[in-house]
Amino acid sequence: MNARTKQFWLFQAIFWSIAGAALFISGATQMPVYQALVRNLFLLIAGFLSSFFIAMVIDELRWLSMVRLRIVSYALAYLVAVFCVVVINAISFTLRGVALGDLAFGQWFSGALNLGLIYAFWSELFIQQVYFEQRSDTRTVSAPDSLVVEHRGAKMQVPLADIESITAAGDYVEINTNGRSYLNRQTLHALEQLLGDRRFVRIHRSTLVNRDHVQAVTPLRKGRYQLQFLSGATVTSSRGYRETVREYFLATAA
């Protein structure tokens, strides 16, 4: 188990222990203790498990700006909270002997806002952790014209001029040079901000290319383009970046 995994499990244990205690205390003031125990034990387990799903979504959307990432994560947190509360409310009212058909519309969603706030708070803490990692990733650049990468257990510098493209690969980026690839643990978004170099252009949500290495650009269907490097390797742009490709490559060629 690596340090990042240990840190995540410690964060989970502390957060959901505190959240579970708060939920139980709040529930015990509104209903019999045994019902509060059943209800909030379910919410605690559901919250703990669903937080892994939210974390996965946040990890996949690291390339978004912080504002957009927050909006998506908060919305997702509330939707997950609504689902969990609807299920537990059905169980709670059944334990009280209330027929589910007699429940008012609002009773089904009672408590969703409170649970949604807990999820949103969890999401904010996790995002801050991700953001801290992205800031730490900036240490991988040790010189203005090179990147520090790990290769066969050793660190080496790769000149920016030698890099053809950089692609996202989960929690890593794949740095591609002529015939070689290196994996670095950092996000594409963090590296793009760090480089701040107009020679690297994003042509896909998960791809940056070095303008100096692009030899030819071929139009494809649905607004996509195939970019060929001097080495002969190719990459394909996405439709969402067609204007970027036209601006940096086709306009220059014209």
Same structural domain, 10 and 125: yes
Please state the separation of Cα 166 from the chain's center in Å: 18
Of 138, 153, 173, which residue sits at a domain end?
Answer: 138
User: In terms of residue numbers, what domain contains 122?
Assistant: 3-138
In this predicted model, what pLDDT tens digit does every residue of 169-218 receive, in sequence order?
A: 777 888 998 878 888 877 888 788 777 766 899 999 999 999 999 999 99
Rounded-to-integer distance, Cα 191 and Cα 185, Å: 10
- Residue 148 sits in a domain whose CATH number is 2.40.50.1020
- Whether 107 shows a pLDDT value over 80: the answer reads no
Same structural domain, 240 and 145: yes
Look at the chain and report how many structural domains it folds into: 2
Same structural domain, 174 and 230: yes
Same structural domain, 15 and 133: yes
Of 98, 116, 138, which residue sits at a domain end?
Answer: 138
Q: Kindly report the backbone phi and psi dihedral angles of residue 165, in degrees, each rounded to the nearest multiple of 5, phi listed first.
A: -150, 160
Same structural domain, 129 and 211: no
Same structural domain, 103 and 150: no
- Whether 104 shows a pLDDT value over 70: the answer reads yes
Residue 111: Cβ within 10 Å count: 23
Of 138, 168, 194, which residue sits at a domain end?
Answer: 138
Rounded-to-integer distance, Cα 237 and Cα 185, Å: 24
